[in-house]
Amino acid sequence: MNSSGPRVGVLALQGDFREHLSVLRGLGADAVPVRRAAELDDVAGLVIPGGESSVMDKLSRLFGVAEPLKARIADGMPVYGTCAGLIMLADTVRDAITGQQTLGGLDVVVRRNAFGNQNDSFETDLDIPELGAPPVHAVFIRAPAVEVVGPNARALATLDDGRVVAVEQGPLLGTAFHPEMTDDHRFHARFLERIPS
Protein backbone atom coordinates (compact mmCIF):
# COMPACT_ATOMS: atom_id res chain seq x y z
CA MET A 1 0.00 0.00 0.00
CA ASN A 2 1.42 3.37 -0.98
CA SER A 3 1.11 6.17 1.52
CA SER A 4 2.01 9.84 1.42
CA GLY A 5 2.33 9.91 5.21
CA PRO A 6 5.51 9.62 7.23
CA ARG A 7 7.45 6.34 7.27
CA VAL A 8 7.15 4.96 10.78
CA GLY A 9 8.15 1.62 12.21
CA VAL A 10 6.58 -0.80 14.64
CA LEU A 11 9.06 -2.93 16.58
CA ALA A 12 8.08 -6.39 15.37
CA LEU A 13 10.14 -8.69 17.57
CA GLN A 14 7.26 -9.88 19.73
CA GLY A 15 3.77 -8.80 20.79
CA ASP A 16 0.82 -7.27 18.96
CA PHE A 17 2.74 -5.32 16.33
CA ARG A 18 0.32 -6.20 13.50
CA GLU A 19 -2.52 -4.27 15.14
CA HIS A 20 -0.35 -1.15 15.43
CA LEU A 21 0.69 -1.42 11.78
CA SER A 22 -2.97 -1.55 10.79
CA VAL A 23 -3.92 1.48 12.91
CA LEU A 24 -1.00 3.58 11.66
CA ARG A 25 -1.72 2.71 8.03
CA GLY A 26 -5.35 3.62 8.61
CA LEU A 27 -4.17 7.05 9.76
CA GLY A 28 -2.20 7.53 6.54
CA ALA A 29 1.28 6.59 7.73
CA ASP A 30 3.68 4.45 5.74
CA ALA A 31 4.03 1.92 8.58
CA VAL A 32 6.57 -0.89 8.35
CA PRO A 33 7.73 -3.67 10.71
CA VAL A 34 11.18 -3.16 12.24
CA ARG A 35 13.25 -6.16 13.34
CA ARG A 36 16.82 -5.13 12.53
CA ALA A 37 19.01 -2.07 13.02
CA ALA A 38 19.16 -1.38 9.26
CA GLU A 39 15.35 -1.14 9.14
CA LEU A 40 15.45 1.34 12.01
CA ASP A 41 17.51 3.67 9.82
CA ASP A 42 14.60 4.01 7.38
CA VAL A 43 11.92 5.24 9.79
CA ALA A 44 11.21 8.67 11.29
CA GLY A 45 9.40 7.31 14.35
CA LEU A 46 8.70 4.01 16.09
CA VAL A 47 5.92 2.30 18.03
CA ILE A 48 6.93 -0.30 20.62
CA PRO A 49 3.92 -2.58 21.09
CA GLY A 50 2.53 -4.54 23.99
CA GLY A 51 3.82 -8.04 24.64
CA GLU A 52 6.25 -9.38 27.23
CA SER A 53 8.78 -6.70 28.13
CA SER A 54 11.49 -9.10 29.31
CA VAL A 55 11.28 -11.14 26.07
CA MET A 56 11.22 -7.96 23.99
CA ASP A 57 14.32 -6.74 25.82
CA LYS A 58 16.21 -9.98 25.16
CA LEU A 59 15.20 -10.10 21.50
CA SER A 60 16.06 -6.44 20.91
CA ARG A 61 19.58 -7.12 22.15
CA LEU A 62 19.85 -10.45 20.30
CA PHE A 63 18.82 -8.83 17.00
CA GLY A 64 21.16 -5.87 17.55
CA VAL A 65 18.35 -3.32 17.68
CA ALA A 66 18.62 -2.15 21.31
CA GLU A 67 21.75 0.01 21.11
CA PRO A 68 20.87 1.73 17.79
CA LEU A 69 17.36 2.35 19.14
CA LYS A 70 18.76 3.89 22.35
CA ALA A 71 20.85 6.19 20.18
CA ARG A 72 17.86 7.21 18.05
CA ILE A 73 15.81 7.92 21.19
CA ALA A 74 18.68 10.06 22.56
CA ASP A 75 18.73 11.92 19.22
CA GLY A 76 15.04 12.78 19.59
CA MET A 77 13.25 10.24 17.42
CA PRO A 78 9.53 10.13 18.30
CA VAL A 79 8.64 6.83 19.97
CA TYR A 80 5.30 5.60 21.33
CA GLY A 81 5.29 2.66 23.74
CA THR A 82 2.13 0.79 24.75
CA CYS A 83 2.02 -1.57 27.74
CA ALA A 84 5.32 -3.49 27.42
CA GLY A 85 6.50 -0.65 25.18
CA LEU A 86 5.99 1.78 28.06
CA ILE A 87 8.16 -0.48 30.23
CA MET A 88 10.83 -0.51 27.52
CA LEU A 89 10.89 3.32 27.44
CA ALA A 90 10.98 3.80 31.22
CA ASP A 91 14.25 4.86 32.83
CA THR A 92 13.47 2.64 35.84
CA VAL A 93 11.41 -0.57 36.15
CA ARG A 94 10.22 -2.14 39.38
CA ASP A 95 9.59 -5.91 39.53
CA ALA A 96 11.83 -6.44 36.51
CA ILE A 97 13.23 -9.93 36.04
CA THR A 98 16.93 -10.42 36.78
CA GLY A 99 19.05 -8.83 34.06
CA GLN A 100 16.14 -7.06 32.37
CA GLN A 101 17.14 -3.80 30.69
CA THR A 102 15.19 -0.93 29.17
CA LEU A 103 15.85 1.47 26.35
CA GLY A 104 15.12 4.40 28.63
CA GLY A 105 14.23 7.94 27.67
CA LEU A 106 11.09 8.47 29.74
CA ASP A 107 11.82 10.01 33.15
CA VAL A 108 9.45 7.64 34.96
CA VAL A 109 9.45 4.66 37.30
CA VAL A 110 7.15 1.91 36.00
CA ARG A 111 5.98 -1.23 37.80
CA ARG A 112 5.49 -4.36 35.66
CA ASN A 113 2.17 -6.22 36.04
CA ALA A 114 1.00 -3.49 38.42
CA PHE A 115 -2.60 -4.69 38.29
CA GLY A 116 -2.01 -8.44 38.64
CA ASN A 117 -2.12 -11.25 36.13
CA GLN A 118 -4.12 -11.88 32.96
CA ASN A 119 -7.29 -12.53 34.97
CA ASP A 120 -7.05 -9.03 36.42
CA SER A 121 -7.29 -7.36 33.03
CA PHE A 122 -9.94 -4.62 32.84
CA GLU A 123 -11.36 -1.79 30.78
CA THR A 124 -12.22 1.74 31.86
CA ASP A 125 -12.88 5.21 30.46
CA LEU A 126 -10.21 7.88 30.96
CA ASP A 127 -10.71 11.63 30.79
CA ILE A 128 -7.65 13.01 29.01
CA PRO A 129 -7.83 16.82 28.66
CA GLU A 130 -5.13 16.91 25.96
CA LEU A 131 -7.26 14.67 23.73
CA GLY A 132 -10.58 16.37 24.46
CA ALA A 133 -13.96 14.65 24.53
CA PRO A 134 -15.11 11.91 24.59
CA PRO A 135 -13.18 9.92 27.22
CA VAL A 136 -10.69 7.34 25.97
CA HIS A 137 -11.86 3.74 26.43
CA ALA A 138 -8.75 1.99 27.73
CA VAL A 139 -8.02 -1.75 27.71
CA PHE A 140 -5.54 -2.94 30.37
CA ILE A 141 -3.99 -6.42 29.98
CA ARG A 142 -1.32 -7.44 32.52
CA ALA A 143 -0.60 -3.75 32.48
CA PRO A 144 2.16 -1.72 34.06
CA ALA A 145 1.57 1.53 35.94
CA VAL A 146 3.73 4.61 36.33
CA GLU A 147 4.59 4.95 40.02
CA VAL A 148 6.84 8.01 39.76
CA VAL A 149 6.70 10.76 37.14
CA GLY A 150 10.04 12.54 37.08
CA PRO A 151 10.44 16.27 36.49
CA ASN A 152 11.10 15.82 32.77
CA ALA A 153 7.92 13.84 32.06
CA ARG A 154 4.28 14.67 32.58
CA ALA A 155 1.19 12.60 33.25
CA LEU A 156 -1.57 12.57 30.63
CA ALA A 157 -4.00 10.11 32.24
CA THR A 158 -4.63 8.89 35.76
CA LEU A 159 -6.96 6.23 37.15
CA ASP A 160 -9.42 7.05 39.94
CA ASP A 161 -6.95 5.54 42.45
CA GLY A 162 -4.28 8.02 41.37
CA ARG A 163 -2.11 5.65 39.37
CA VAL A 164 -0.66 7.23 36.23
CA VAL A 165 -1.33 5.27 33.03
CA ALA A 166 -0.25 7.65 30.24
CA VAL A 167 2.79 9.94 30.07
CA GLU A 168 4.71 12.03 27.60
CA GLN A 169 8.10 13.67 27.44
CA GLY A 170 9.04 15.64 24.36
CA PRO A 171 8.84 13.25 21.40
CA LEU A 172 8.18 10.22 23.65
CA LEU A 173 4.72 8.93 24.52
CA GLY A 174 3.73 5.99 26.68
CA THR A 175 0.47 4.31 27.69
CA ALA A 176 -0.08 1.41 30.07
CA PHE A 177 -3.10 0.34 28.02
CA HIS A 178 -3.73 -0.87 24.46
CA PRO A 179 -5.35 1.75 22.21
CA GLU A 180 -4.72 -0.45 19.17
CA MET A 181 -7.45 -2.76 20.53
CA THR A 182 -10.17 -0.11 20.29
CA ASP A 183 -11.57 2.13 17.56
CA ASP A 184 -10.16 5.25 19.27
CA HIS A 185 -6.84 6.08 17.65
CA ARG A 186 -6.17 9.52 19.13
CA PHE A 187 -2.97 8.37 20.85
CA HIS A 188 -1.58 7.04 17.59
CA ALA A 189 -2.54 10.33 15.94
CA ARG A 190 -0.78 12.23 18.74
CA PHE A 191 2.33 10.14 18.10
CA LEU A 192 2.20 10.86 14.35
CA GLU A 193 1.93 14.60 15.05
CA ARG A 194 5.42 14.37 16.53
CA ILE A 195 6.96 13.06 13.29
CA PRO A 196 8.76 15.82 11.36
CA SER A 197 7.09 16.43 8.01
- Contact indicator for 80, 48 with CB cutoff of 8 Å: yes
Cis ω for the linkage preceding 134 (within 30 of 0): yes
Is the predicted pLDDT of residue 26 greater than 80, yes or no?
Answer: yes
In this structure, whether the domain defined by 7-193 belongs to CATH 3.30.70.1450 is answered with no
The stretch 144-164 carries a mean pLDDT of 96
d(CA 63, CA 78): 21
Active site residues: 83, 178, 180
The 10s digit of each residue's pLDDT in 72-102 is: 999 999 999 999 999 999 999 998 889 999 9
Residue 40 DSSP SS3: helix
- Residue 145's CB: how many other CB atoms inside 10 A? 22
Show me where the domains of the chain are located: 7-193
d(CA 58, CA 15): 13
The 10s digit of each residue's pLDDT in 42-75 is: 999 999 999 899 999 999 999 999 999 999 999 9
